[in-house]
């Protein structure tokens, strides 16, 4: 059996408001913790602000891991390097097209009304290395795979995967 295994890890860019909110909540937690010696109920507000800072960090510090094995692409979301959640398993047999985000191969798919899911780095770089995958006609998935992963997937499904 000739199985190919490729793994790729990408970090999503954190929004500017998330960094500001995280710092604000941490400072608020410290101020309320100091104020709890003067104000009796400040401890509850400090606890709430601390939990808010933890939640903002957990849901904005994201990484995505792409794992390709035996004609299947698995996407996992890693939250704050502490929790892992599988967000999708995509079989290459059921992929309609996988091409760079600005490719002419996607022209036939642009007018479709589908759910878009972004598992990429979250920003447009120069040159843009993000790819769009249409899966079974109902999902549009944006990825940032490595060149090695695209090459291996193209060897398996050359008529569905393009790298322009």
pLDDT at 76 > cutoff 90: yes
Q: Are 7 and 66 in contact (CB under 8 A)?
A: yes
Identify the pLDDT of residue 122: 82
Tens digits of per-residue pLDDT, 85-123? 999 999 999 999 999 999 998 888 888 888 889 999 888
Give the CA-trace dihedral at 106, 108, 114, 116, to 10 degrees: 10
Tell the CATH topology of 5-11+64-156: PH-domain like (2.30.29)
Q: Where is 8: in which H helix or E strand? A: strand 5-11
Contacts of 148 (CB under 8 A, 6+ apart): 6, 8
Distance CA 163, CA 143 (A): 13
Residue ranges per structural domain of the chain: 5-11+64-156, 16-60
Tens digits of per-residue pLDDT, 30-61? 999 899 888 888 889 999 999 999 999 888 88
Q: Where are the beta strands (DSSP E) in 109-157?
A: 115-119, 131-135, 139-143
């Amino acid at each position: 059996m000739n199985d190919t295994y490729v793994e790729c890890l990408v970090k999503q860019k954190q929004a500017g408001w998330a960094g500001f909110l995280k710092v604000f909540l941490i400072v608020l937690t410290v101020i309320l913790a100091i104020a709890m010696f003067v104000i009796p109920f400040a401890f509850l507000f400090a606890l709430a602000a601390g939990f808010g800072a933890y939640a903002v960090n957990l849901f904005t510090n994201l990484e995505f891991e792409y794992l390709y094995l035996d004609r299947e692409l698995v996407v996992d979301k890693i939250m704050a390097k502490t929790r892992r959640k599988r967000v999708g398993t995509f079989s290459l047999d059921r992929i309609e097209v996988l091409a760079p985000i600005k490719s002419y191969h996607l022209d036939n798919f642009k007018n479709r009304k589908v759910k878009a899911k972004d598992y990429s780095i979250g920003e447009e770089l120069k040159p843009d290395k993000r790819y769009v995958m249409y899966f079974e006609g109902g999902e549009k998935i944006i990825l940032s795979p490595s060149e090695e992963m695209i090459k291996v997937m193209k060897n398996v499904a050359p008529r569905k995967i393009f790298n322009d």
